[in-house]
Chain A
């Protein structure tokens, strides 16, 4: 199958929003998606974007049953390790089910690694749900190590009321 990987443009945000929801449905967390297309446009396509995105596109002849030619995406941003410097974090990697097994996911992930390498990133990191063995296997085959399993890294989070409360207790300037 012919496909092209290219940097996302602002006009792609509608398709990216659609696929974000498809990925959330797959992860059984669709009620967690609160972001809007407008936020993606604002945060990804301003002068100092908070994320970057690459999309996978097929030709018209290969469009999906609902007429989509943008069939996959990868959303990533840069993080900083005080040990190793700049790293790239792959927030989402998604290919529509009927286009899997054709190298598109690998193509998108490699693109992130390449872009990161050009910026001198020494690491590419991501998070996967532990029941998602198919994805875990995919990433391990691509050379990723499970830092939670091997070194005990836990992801912790403040949100909602806990975040409000923590912020309210900050010392005054």
Chain B
């Protein structure tokens, strides 16, 4: 299958917003999505963007039954390790179900790795839910390590009323 990977632009935000919802539905958390197409446009395409995106596109002849040619994306940003310096964090990686198994997910992830390394990053980090065996297997096959399983890293989060309380001086 022919596909191309390129940097996302402002006009892609509509399709990225669509695919974010598709990914959230897959992860069974669609009611948690608050980010809108407008938020993506402001947050990703201003002078100091909070994230960068890449999209996977297929030719018109292979468009989906709903007419989409943008059929996958990855969203990433630079983060930091106080031990290793610059890192790249891959927030989302998604390929529409009918386009899976054709190397598109791998190509998107490789591109994030390449762009990260070009920016001086020595780690590519991301998170996966433990029940998501298909994704865990995919990533393991690419050679990543599970830092939670191997080293015992637990991700912790503070939000809502607890975050308000913490922010009191």
Q: List A residues at the B interface (Cβ < 8 Å).
A: 20, 23-24, 29, 32-35, 39, 43, 48, 50-51, 75, 77-86, 89, 91-92, 109-110, 113-114, 116-117, 122-131, 136, 139, 142-149, 151-159, 161-171, 173
B interface SS class: mixed
Question: For residues 93 through 125 of chain B, which have their beta carbon under 8 Å from a beta carbon of chain A?
Answer: 106-107, 109-111, 113-114, 116-117, 122-125
B65 within 8 A of A: no
Whether the Cβ atoms of A158 and B124 lie closer than 8 Å is yes
B116-151 interface (Cβ within 8 A of A): 116-117, 122-131, 136, 139, 142-149, 151
| Among all A-B residue pairs, the 10 with the closest Cβ atoms | A143-B162, A152-B130, A130-B152, A162-B143, A170-B114, A170-B110, A113-B167, A167-B113, A148-B154, A154-B148
Query: For chain B, which range describes its interface: under 10, 10 to 19, 20 to 34, or 35 or more residues?
Result: 35 or more
Q: Determine if A77 and B130 form an interchain contact, defined as CB atoms under 8 angstroms apart.
A: no
- Whether the pair B154, A129 counts as a contact (CB closer than 8 A) is yes
Contact pick for B82, options A84, A92, A144, A153, CB 8 Å: A92
Complex CA gap A96/B83 in Å reads 18
A-side contacts of B151, CB under 8 Å: 129
B114/A167 in contact, CB under 8 A:
yes
Q: Are the C-beta atoms of A85 and B154 separated by less than 8 Å?
A: no
Q: Which residues of B contact A (CB under 8 A)?
A: 4-6, 20, 23-24, 29, 32-35, 39, 43, 48, 50-51, 75, 77-86, 89, 91-92, 106-107, 109-111, 113-114, 116-117, 122-131, 136, 139, 142-149, 151-159, 161-169
Contacts of B51 in A (CB 8 A): 80
A158 touches B85 (CB 8 A): no
Q: Are B142 and A162 in contact (CB under 8 A)?
A: yes
A/B interface sample: 11 pairs, CB < 8 A? A33-B83, A81-B91, A82-B33, A110-B166, A110-B167, A113-B163, A123-B158, A125-B156, A153-B127, A156-B126, A158-B123
Contacting pair B156 A171 (CB below 8 A): no
Q: Which residues of A have CB within 8 Å of B122?
A: 159, 163
Q: How far is the CA of A66 from the CA of B144 in the complex (A)?
A: 41
Distance of A106 Cα from B126 Cα, bound (Å): 28
